[in-house]
């Protein structure tokens, strides 16, 4: 059975481009404005990552750290994040993904978290700080519930690590462009083509590259080698300023074309 996630990547491939995956933190800068920005972003993006705000986002740079803090101070919670996903599912059939650190899952309880995600219409989870070899209970629970899981790989990942991660990715494979944190950068890191090539030599699952995509130029560079382009910090910055995401999202979508 083809999933919404796979359909999104297949549709982008049919149009000879990489899939555009946009990221916004739930509740940022407010609950209502998040929904408005997300609706605009979904006019261009193929998939939407909803960040679950967390107090210690070790993989995120200053922009998303600050946004998470604002969301938390505004009262955003795990259930609030699911409420935001539920509101978006009511208006779109595009894939919705929750990007979350493991602690909120652990605090909620794996079964309860997965059940709530599925009920809210979420298609998958992206897990930046949980390697699959430490997810021995989460993986079967998610698989049974039909919730897709995406784990991360970095330029330093070995062939054995790539095999382990790709075997356990049921949504897509998330390739981190740098050995660092999220944040917009001016150029595509030189490690990206080699990392994507090494992943594709082992797996035929879609590979999306994130951390550092700021504009059409960097998106275009990644689109030449990867199946998806993840864009976060630049969109978060604009949302925080109250700017419309329409023009930037359209620009990045064009950049995803090959």
pLDDT by residue (tens digit) across 129-149?
999 999 999 999 999 999 999
pLDDT at 17: 98
Residue 82 confidence (pLDDT) above 90: yes
Q: What pTM, to 2 d.p., does this model score?
A: 0.94
Q: Is the pLDDT of residue 187 over 70?
A: no
Given a cut of 70, whether residue 254 has pLDDT beyond it is: yes
Per annotation, catalytic residue among 46, 49, 123, 227: 49
Structural domains for the chain: 4-255 (3.20.20.70)
Give yes or no: 49 in active site. Answer: yes
Indicate if the pLDDT at residue 185 is higher than 60: no
Among residues 60, 93, 123, 194, which one is catalytic?
60
Taking CA atoms, 120 is separated from 90, 97, 104, in Å, by 9, 11, 16
Find how far residue 138's CA is from the centre of its chain: 19
């Amino acid at each position: 059975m083809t999933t919404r996630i796979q359909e999104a990547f297949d549709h982008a491939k049919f149009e000879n481009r990489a899939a555009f995956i946009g990221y916004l933190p739930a509740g940022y800068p407010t609950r209502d404005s998040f929904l408005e920005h997300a609706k605009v972003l979904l006019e261009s993006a193929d998939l939407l990552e909803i960040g679950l705000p967390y107090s210690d986002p070790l993989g995120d740079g200053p922009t998303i750290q600050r946004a998470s803090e604002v969301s938390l101070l505004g009262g955003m919670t795990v259930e609030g994040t699911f409420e935001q996903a539920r509101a978006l599912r009511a208006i779109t059939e595009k894939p919705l993904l929750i990007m979350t650190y493991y602690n909120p899952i652990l605090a909620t309880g794996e079964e309860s978290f997965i059940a709530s995600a599925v009920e809210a219409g979420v298609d998958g989870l992206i897990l930046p700080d949980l390697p699959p070899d430490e997810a021995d209970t989460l993986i079967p629970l998610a698989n049974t519930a039909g919730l897709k899981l995406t784990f991360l790989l970095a330029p330093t990942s070995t062939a054995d690590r790539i095999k382990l991660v790709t075997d356990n990715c049921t949504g897509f494979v998330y390739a981190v462009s740098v050995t660092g944190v999220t944040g917009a950068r001016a150029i595509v890191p030189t490690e990206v083509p080699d990392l994507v090539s090494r992943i594709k030599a082992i797996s035929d699952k879609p590979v999306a590259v994130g951390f550092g995509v700021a504009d059409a130029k960097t998106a275009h560079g990644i689109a030449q080698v990867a199946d998806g382009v993840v864009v976060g910090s630049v969109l978060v910055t604009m949302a925080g300023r109250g700017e419309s995401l329409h023009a930037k999202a359209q620009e990045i979508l064009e950049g995803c074309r090959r």
